[in-house]
Amino acid sequence: MKGLISVIIPVYKAENDLRRCVESLQAQTYENLEIILVDDGSPDGCPALCDVFQEADPRIRVIHKANGGVSSARNAGLSKAGGMYVQFVDSDDFVEPDYCAAMADALEKTRGSLAVCGFHHHYVGADVEKVPQAGADLLELYGTGFLNMPWNKLYRKEYMGHFPEDLSLGEDLLFNLEYLRRAAGRGKEGGGASRTGEGGQADLRPDTALVERPLYHYIQEESRQTLSNQKRADKLELARRIRRETGDFFREEACPGAKGGRLVSGPDGGYQEERIRRVVDTRFLCECLDDVERLPFDREMTAREKREAIRRLCLDADVREACRKGQPKPLDYRLLKWSLGHGMVWTTCLLNALRSVAVRLKRKI
């Protein structure tokens, strides 16, 4: 029998979506499965619904706990997970019937430490399929948005750490980076076994199995995107931390002597440093531009507060540096990058307003 997979689902205010999520896992073609529902103090009907699922299906286990946030819920699930492998699914999302089987098969064939699949991104009525490119290294996966989240992955339980519970941004990415360190035998707590590459030197780059199919359905609701001024300022500080720590991680793993891996490809350290800075700054810049583009849709902020939020970004040294080095692909992001990088507050506001009008017209079509 294939190894047991523990699927951990944090549950909070998901009464309308939870059944679809759980039923998509009950329908998995992979037989050796346990489903752990973590009720994170949900104030709606989710706790009772979780108990109903548990009574009806012996594969389902329920944990009831006081509200502590999604990282706390995932950690609670990890503490009870008995599987050889671990997957995470959010309670408002759902998965394809072979989500577990395809990921497990890919990991077993490659004997890697991590499997990554593609996903459907459902947003404002659109279904955008995103699939990792064959042969991509981890830096490319990070740059294209496949490394940040936990829900499109299959992990080996032996390398698992814990999600940081003091963060509201980037905690998933930091969890994944520490997992990769553990899998390479470089974890902060000594987890994982080191492998050797060419010439007897340590191979610091864990193999990643890519499943080039969209097996996960990620549901993004615009109503969840509203941020207060304080939260927006906090998010920028957290984005700075993520920028710093991801840069350190990729420089650390791309060090000379770590041969035979697929983390960072390139002929020399100079090329790698240039590529790392470009990818990391692009991701940091996109986090900032995501917030800029949401401002016109925020009904809780005044026009003056929105201009001030853009002004802070225009004056921020890290943002302006990222504008010089980052290379976002969408045209609207490139235009906003140009105006932000030149400190043009009113131009940025105008471009952003024009984009919001175009988005609203598109949604009405």
Expressed as residue numbers, the domain containing 152 is: 5-183+205-224
Residue 190 inside a domain? The answer is no
Structure tokens at 349: 């506001």
Residue 265 inside a domain? The answer is yes
Residue 96 inside a domain? The answer is yes
Structure tokens at 341: 């990088």
Residue 192 inside a domain? The answer is no
**Does 218 share its domain with 244?**
no
**Does 166 share its domain with 75?**
yes
pLDDT tens, position by position, 133-155 = 988 888 999 999 899 999 999 99
pLDDT tens, position by position, 223-269 = 444 444 445 557 788 888 899 999 988 887 665 433 333 444 455 55
What confidence score (pLDDT) does residue 196 get? 34
Residue 95 inside a domain? The answer is yes
What confidence score (pLDDT) does residue 156 get? 96
Quick one: three-class SS letters along 110-124? Answer: HCCCEEEEEEEEEEC
**Does 138 share its domain with 156?**
yes
Residue 12 inside a domain? The answer is yes
| CATH number of 38's domain | 3.90.550.10
Percentage with pLDDT > 90 across the chain: 59
Q: How many domains does the chain have?
A: 2
Residue 191 inside a domain? The answer is no
**Does 264 share its domain with 292?**
yes
**Does 216 share its domain with 299?**
no
Q: What is the mean pLDDT of residues 20-30?
A: 97
**Does 113 share its domain with 246?**
no
Q: What is the mean pLDDT of residues 158-165?
A: 93
Of the residues 196, 224, 252, the one at which a domain ends: 224
**Does 220 share its domain with 267?**
no
- Looking only at the bridges linking them, the beta strands covering 85-88 and 33-40 are unpaired
**Does 106 share its domain with 237?**
no
Structure tokens at 233: 């300022």
Residue 193 inside a domain? The answer is no
**Does 213 share its domain with 257?**
no
**Does 118 share its domain with 237?**
no
Q: Given pLDDT bands bounded at 50, 70 and 90, which one contains residue 222?
A: low
Say which residue the tokens 């969408």 belong to.
Answer: 330
**Does 168 share its domain with 145?**
yes
**Does 243 share its domain with 145?**
no
